[in-house]
């Protein structure tokens, strides 16, 4: 646990007093302290291209009054700096009369261990694995023309000090291991990318030469793409594979169910609470409590313990994801979804691990039912326009389906759909729910936070596929 | 107050000293400081104020051809010393890379030109609020507008880049940005659009009323969109989207993508990649330019480059490391382009609109559908159907797709270039793209 007051002229008692004084007429707010260390080691083009280490320390001070948020941050933890911030907040929130909400739930549960993945493994042993990855893939096939592999490790220690001096802390490990391989054959180049990660040590992922399976998967995807044909264009049936394709759920539904967009009535879902927004059999939860997952959090960035929030149950919209501010204004409770990228940013309601739960059908039944369509196995990034509800995502591995059979692989195409209606087009839900491998980062308002997704195979009756073949 | 040059220079000198003393053969340090203040409004009321004040320090240490780097926001001398030592220790066990080195000394910027990219004017939050009030009242005048969010940001930065070859230079920059996002609603649809203005000098920012009006107009005209059928069509890219084509081009000619062999433009130097009416220029010394700079992130002097001349690719964007790999000299583009733009085409905006009896005019794309290895392009889009030069109705939930290699050769440009951003294009038309809808 970091002691933020160790090397500072700011003593804890003074910090507590400044916080309590500044927030006394506010509805909410806190001092958020953060000490994070991160490393990035990249092998590229046959060499260790970079090994970077970064250490970041700072605080963010937030005062909330009714709908107004005043925020000030600094990377200098000192008495002067905190006082400057306090003055800055007070100048924004002149003549306010709120009552500070002291209530914050507590919990003893923890969803990951207090480990520092960066220090647990020597740099040399990480370099060794990256070099093995490079050798393994290049020896595997002469078509391998480029290999990039990298480790990302993070150790973040946070403390939240609320008015009255209540202190809440958390230590968050996070790692990611990624392999990208480019193949060239007959003048054609294609790339395959695969990665794994979560809130554990590197060794939890890499024991028994597990890195090989990551290499194999990246290689397999690149190989499939070498054979790919132009994708079809137009509306058709789409079968999504289990696991990572659930970023469709994340983009199409998840963002639209975040509290802020609904309080502001800018989400296409804001007036649909309690209504049917999906086919029967579709249940979607956002869960921060799965052990060691990338999107899991013991507490959110306001200090609220996370939970498993049911968003859609059997097709009916049940809950939005809330931070404290939006919960207060919408007269509900925080779902432990208040997150920020780091101390430089304000808290926003965000997703954690967003999951569609298993149904009864098999993937086989879905494929067999399709005359003309595509089978999408893996995706790159996605994006949504919250207001119009339109969302896209890009296939990185997909096949055409003709007369109930999987055909040739097709080139990366964008799929576009309409968030509020897409889940009504889901006509089969598979029995094969799978978690993604732990690689997702969600962007919102310029802030990236680690998230997870999960889903079974699903059949969507109508979606527009953005290929080039008419 | 933004930290002055002397403070940053002293810190940089300290870091280089420490690195040298513990045994680094070379080192390069960047220290930056920036302060930004933002006020956000929503529906004509104050929503958020945000002040940030941050220092960033990055050091690369070299031991011969070994290199490693560390960055931190904690600039206390004691912390810096610990980190530099850690960086040095990491360097020791990092394998050698023959291409690692500081930039050639004769390429370094030896003087600073005043580019007018720093305006010392400070605008108090009270004044920002006045601006936003005026903006939002103009934006929300029409009853179809149901939500407005706008913000005003003032940012001041200063930095020093110093290396053990004696380079030590830096300068202040400023930016003032006002933006407005509006949401409009009718019986069948809800749409969002935006407008913003970002300038080096406060006085150059767009008038609040006109900014609000444009945001409102652009949003309302998107209401009640239709989905169209799938077909091959000419696609017109609004200026704010057309510049994205240049960004993709710039990524594909970065020396790192070329050296790694992962660009669809590899081996295309001196080849015709656009039609011969196309010229692309990267010009670092535009007065008040948002992308203007004296030197790149390694200290190498940046000069104007004609990247594409009459459709022929003339130059990559080269930094020191990848330049050595490709046996090319750095052209001061470590960290990317400066003010990148297409030269004007030879038809007016109206003429461009009328070139085809039917086309799609795109105002926004979503998704990350550019594959720079293969050149494949497929993104979600919203815009308007245009017939005989007339805007007919808004269109959404469609995709547009093609391959950059073909698309580049079928680009037509209007003559309406201006310098609103750091990367700028006139209105653009690309013939024969696949539009997928119903």
Q: Digits of tens for pLDDT over chain B (438 positions)? A: 889 999 999 999 999 999 999 999 999 999 999 999 999 999 999 999 998 888 899 999 999 999 999 999 888 888 899 999 999 999 998 889 999 999 999 999 999 999 999 999 999 989 999 999 999 999 999 999 999 999 999 999 999 999 999 999 999 999 999 999 999 999 999 999 999 999 999 999 999 999 999 999 999 999 999 999 999 999 999 999 999 999 999 999 999 999 999 999 999 999 999 999 999 999 999 999 999 999 999 999 999 999 999 999 999 999 999 999 999 999 999 999 999 999 999 999 999 999 999 999 999 999 988 999 999 999 999 999 999 999 999 999 999 999 999 999 999 999 999 999 999 999 999 999 999 999
Quote the minimal CA–CA distance from B112 to chain A in Å.
Answer: 30
3-class SS letters over chain A: CCCCCCCCCCCHHHHHHHHHHHHCCCCEEEEEEEEEEEEEEEEECCEEEEEEEEEEEEEEEEEEECCEEEEEEECCCCHHHHHHHHHHHHHHCCCCCCCCCCCCCCCCCCCCCCCCHHHHCCHHHHHHHHHHHHHHHHHHCCCEEEEEEEEEEEEEEEEEECCCCCEEEEEEEEEEEEEEEEEEECCEEEEEEEEEEECCCHHHHHHHHCHHHHHHHHHHHHHHHHCCECCEEEEEEEEECCCHHHHHHHHHHHHHHEHHHHHCCCCCCCCCCCCECCCCCCCEEEECCCCCCCCCCCECCCCCECCEEEEEECCEECCCECCHHHHHHCCCCCCCCEECCCCCCCCEECCCEEEECCCCECHHHHHHCCCEEEEEEEEEEEEECCCCCEEEEEEEEEEEEECCEEEEEECCCEEEEEHHHHHHHEEEEECCCEECCCCEEEEECCEEEEEEEEECCEEEEEEEEECCEC
Tell whether B105 and B177 lie within a shared domain: yes
Tell whether B318 and B191 lie within a shared domain: no
Q: How many CB pairs under 8 A join A and B?
A: 242
Contact: B262, A191; criterion CB under 8 Å: yes
Q: What is the pLDDT of residues B185-232, one digit of tens each?
A: 999 999 999 999 999 999 999 999 999 999 999 999 999 999 999 999
Please check whether residue A62 is in contact with residue A32, taking contact to mean a CB–CB distance below 8 angstroms.
yes
Pick from A146, A134, A155: nearest CA to A202: A155
Please check whether residue B274 is in contact with residue B408, taking contact to mean a CB–CB distance below 8 angstroms.
yes
Return the bridge partners of A397, or none. Answer: A378
Q: Which residue of B has its CA nearest to A93?
A: B49
Find chain A residues with C-beta within 8 A of B371's C-beta. 191, 412
Tell whether B201 and B268 lie within a shared domain: no
**B310 in a domain, yes or no?**
yes
CA distances from B51 to A73, A86, A88, A127, A346 (A): 7, 11, 8, 40, 11
Residue A274 burial (10 A CB sphere; 0-12, 13-18, 19+): exposed
Alpha-carbon span B311 to B31, nearest angstrom: 40
**The Cα angle at residue B245 between residues B239 and B248, in degrees rounded to 5:** 145
Contact: B49, A51; criterion CB under 8 Å: no
Q: Which residue of B has its CA nearest to A51?
A: B68
Tell whether B235 and B216 lie within a shared domain: no
Quote the minimal CA–CA distance from B259 to chain A in Å.
Answer: 9
User: Domain coordinates of chain A in residue numbers?
Assistant: 117-225, 233-466
**B235 in a domain, yes or no?**
yes
Query: What was the pLDDT predicted at A1?
Result: 57
Rg of chain B in Å (alpha carbons): 24
The second-level CATH assignment, the architecture, of A117-225 is 2-Layer Sandwich (3.30)
**B226 in a domain, yes or no?**
no
Distance of alpha carbon A348 from the chain centroid: 13
User: For helices B208-220 and B125-139, what crossing angle results, to 10°?
Assistant: 40
Tokens representing B320 are 């020191």
Any CB–CB contact under 8 A between A441 and chain B? no
Tell whether B160 and B239 lie within a shared domain: no
Query: For B86, which of A50, A53, A74 is closest by C-beta distance?
Result: A53
User: Of B199, B220, B241, which marks where a domain is finished?
Assistant: B220
Parallel/antiparallel/unpaired status of strands B428-436 and B231-237: antiparallel
Instruction: Tell me which of B30, B65, B73, B229 to substitute to probe the interface with A (most A C-beta atoms closer than 10 Å).
Output: B73
Positions of chain A with pLDDT lower than 50, given as ranges = none
Query: Which uninterrupted H or E stretch holds B220?
Result: helix B208-220
Here the CATH number for the domain that contains residue B156 is 3.30.2290.10
Query: For B55, which of A50, A75, A233 is closest by C-beta distance?
Result: A75
Alpha-carbon span A172 to A158, nearest angstrom: 8
- Residues 294-333 on B with a CB inside 8 Å of A are none
CA distances from A185 to A142, A147, A191, A228, B262 (A): 9, 15, 12, 12, 14
Contact: A466, B54; criterion CB under 8 Å: no
Contact: B437, A464; criterion CB under 8 Å: yes
The tally of domains found in chain B comes to: 2
Pick from A221, A234, A130: nearest CA to A183: A221
Quote the minimal CA–CA distance from A360 to chain B in Å.
Answer: 30
Alpha-carbon span B91 to B82, nearest angstrom: 14
Q: List the domain range (segments joined by +) for residue B430.
A: 231-436
Return the bridge partners of A349, or none. Answer: A338
Query: For B71, which of A52, A69, A418 is closest by C-beta distance?
Result: A52
Tell whether B295 and B198 lie within a shared domain: no
State the CB neighbour count (10 A cutoff) for residue A258. Answer: 24
Tell whether B52 and B123 lie within a shared domain: yes
Please check whether residue A456 is in contact with residue A358, taking contact to mean a CB–CB distance below 8 angstroms.
yes
Pick from B187, B194, B184, B191: nearest CA to B143: B184
Tell whether B194 and B299 lie within a shared domain: no
Pick from A269, A315, A284, A301: nearest CA to A420: A269
Query: Which uninterrupted H or E stretch holds B244?
Result: helix B239-252
Please check whether residue A390 is in contact with residue B396, taking contact to mean a CB–CB distance below 8 angstroms.
yes
Tell whether B294 and B362 lie within a shared domain: yes
- Residues 107-126 on B with a CB inside 8 Å of A are 125
Query: What was the pLDDT predicted at A155?
Result: 97
Query: Which uninterrupted H or E stretch holds B163?
Result: strand B145-163
Tokens representing B14 are 């300290």
Tell whether B206 and B331 lie within a shared domain: no
Tell whether B111 and B177 lie within a shared domain: yes
Pick from B434, B325, B375: nearest CA to A191: B375
User: What is the complex's ipTM, to 2 decimals?
Assistant: 0.86
Tell whether B208 and B273 lie within a shared domain: no
Any CB–CB contact under 8 A between B45 and chain A? yes
Quote the minimal CA–CA distance from B375 to chain A in Å.
Answer: 10
Distance of alpha carbon B303 from the chain centroid: 18
Query: For B90, which of A53, A386, A393 is closest by C-beta distance?
Result: A53
């Amino acid at each position: 646990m970091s002691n933020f007051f160790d090397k500072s002229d700011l003593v804890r008692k003074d910090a507590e007093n400044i916080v309590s004084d500044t927030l006394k007429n506010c509805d909410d707010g806190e001092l958020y302290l953060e000490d994070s260390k991160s490393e990035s080691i990249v092998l590229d083009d046959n060499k260790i291209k970079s090994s970077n280490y970064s250490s970041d320390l700072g605080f963010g001070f937030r005062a909330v009054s009714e709908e107004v948020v005043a925020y000030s941050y600094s990377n200098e933890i000192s008495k002067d700096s905190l006082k400057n911030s306090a003055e800055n907040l007070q100048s924004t929130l002149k003549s306010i009369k709120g009552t500070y909400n002291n209530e914050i739930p507590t919990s003893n549960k923890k969803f990951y261990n207090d480990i520092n993945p960066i220090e647990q493994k020597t740099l040399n042993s990480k370099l060794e694995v990256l070099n093995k990855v490079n050798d393994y893939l290049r020896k595997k096939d002469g078509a391998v023309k480029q290999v990039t592999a990298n480790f990302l490790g993070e150790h973040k220690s946070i403390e939240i000090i609320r008015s009255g001096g209540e202190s809440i802390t958390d230590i968050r490990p996070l790692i990611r291991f990624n392999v990208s391989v480019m193949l060239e054959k007959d003048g054609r180049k294609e790339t395959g990318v695969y990665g794994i990660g979560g809130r554990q040590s590197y060794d939890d992922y890499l024991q028994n030469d597990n890195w090989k399976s990551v290499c194999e998967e990246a290689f397999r995807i690149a190989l499939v793409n070498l054979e790919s044909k132009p994708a079809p264009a137009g509306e058709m049936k789409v079968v999504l594979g289990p696991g990572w394709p659930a970023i469709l759920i994340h983009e199409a539904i998840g963002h639209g169910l975040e509290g802020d967009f609904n309080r502001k009535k800018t989400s296409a879902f804001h007036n649909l609470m309690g209504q049917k927004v999906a086919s029967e059999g579709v249940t979607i939860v956002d869960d921060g409590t799965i052990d060691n997952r990338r999107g899991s959090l013991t507490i959110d960035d306001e200090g609220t313990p996370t939970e498993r929030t049911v968003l859609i149950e059997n097709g009916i919209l049940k809950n939005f994801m809330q931070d404290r501010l939006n919960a207060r204004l919408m007269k509900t409770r925080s779902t432990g979804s208040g997150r920020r990228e780091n101390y430089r940013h304000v808290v926003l309601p965000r997703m954690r691990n967003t999951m569609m739960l298993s149904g009864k059908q098999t993937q086989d039944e879905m494929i067999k039912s399709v005359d003309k369509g595509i089978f999408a196995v893996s995706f790159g990034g996605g994006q949504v326009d919250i207001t119009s509800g339109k969302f896209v995502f890009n296939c990185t591995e997909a096949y055409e389906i003709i007369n109930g059979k999987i055909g040739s692989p097709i080139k990366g195409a964008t799929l576009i759909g309409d968030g509020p209606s897409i889940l009504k087009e889901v006509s089969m839900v598979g029995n094969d729910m799978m978690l993604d491998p732990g690689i997702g980062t969600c962007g919102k308002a310029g802030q990236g936070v680690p998230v997870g997704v999960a889903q079974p195979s699903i059949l969507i009756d109508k979606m527009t596929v953005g290929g080039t073949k008419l | 107050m933004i930290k002055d040059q002397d403070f940053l220079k002293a810190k940089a000198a300290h870091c280089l000293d420490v690195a040298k003393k513990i045994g680094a053969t070379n080192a390069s340090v960047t220290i930056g400081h920036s302060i930004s203040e933002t006020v956000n409004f929503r529906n004509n009321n104050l929503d958020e104020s945000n002040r940030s004040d941050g220092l960033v320090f990055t050091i690369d240490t070299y031991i011969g051809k070994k290199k490693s780097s560390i960055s931190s926001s904690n600039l206390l001398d004691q912390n810096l010393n610990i980190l530099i030592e850690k960086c040095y220790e990491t360097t020791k066990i990092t394998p050698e890379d023959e291409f690692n080195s500081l930039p050639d000394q004769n390429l370094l910027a030896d003087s600073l030109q005043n580019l007018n990219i720093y305006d010392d004017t400070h605008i108090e939050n009270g004044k920002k609020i006045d601006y936003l009030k005026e903006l939002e009242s103009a934006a929300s005048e029409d009853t179809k507008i149901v939500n407005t969010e706008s913000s005003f940001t003032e940012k001041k930065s200063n930095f020093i880049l110093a290396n053990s070859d004696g380079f030590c230079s830096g300068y202040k920059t400023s930016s003032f940005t006002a933006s407005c996002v509006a949401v409009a609603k009718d019986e069948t649809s809800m749409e969002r659009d935006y407008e913003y203005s970002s300038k080096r000098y406060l006085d150059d920012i767009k008038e609040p009323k006109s900014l609000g009006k444009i945001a409102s107009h652009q949003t309302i005209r998107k209401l009640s969109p239709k989905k169209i059928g799938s077909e091959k069509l000419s696609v017109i890219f609004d200026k704010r989207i057309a510049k994205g084509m240049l960004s993709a081009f710039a990524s594909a000619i970065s020396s790192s993508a070329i050296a790694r062999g992962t660009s669809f433009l590899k081996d295309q130097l001196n080849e015709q990649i656009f039609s011969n009416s196309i010229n692309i220029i990267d010009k670092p010394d535009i007065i008040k330019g948002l992308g203007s700079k004296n030197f790149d992130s390694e200290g190498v002097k940046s000069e104007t480059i004609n990247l594409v001349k009459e459709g022929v690719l003339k130059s990559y964007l080269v930094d020191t490391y990848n330049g050595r790999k490709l046996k090319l000299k750095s052209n001061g583009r470590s960290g990317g382009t400066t003010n990148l733009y297409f030269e004007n085409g030879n038809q007016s905006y109206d003429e461009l609109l009328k070139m085809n009896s039917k086309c799609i005019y795109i105002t926004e794309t979503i998704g990350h559908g550019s594959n720079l290895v293969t050149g494949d392009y497929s993104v979600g889009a919203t815009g308007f159907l245009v017939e005989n030069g007339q805007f007919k109705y808004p269109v959404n939930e469609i995709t547009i797709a093609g391959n950059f290699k073909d698309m580049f050769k079928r680009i037509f440009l209007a003559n309406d270039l201006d310098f609103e951003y750091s990367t700028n294009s006139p209105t653009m038309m690309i013939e024969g793209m696949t539009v997928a809808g119903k």
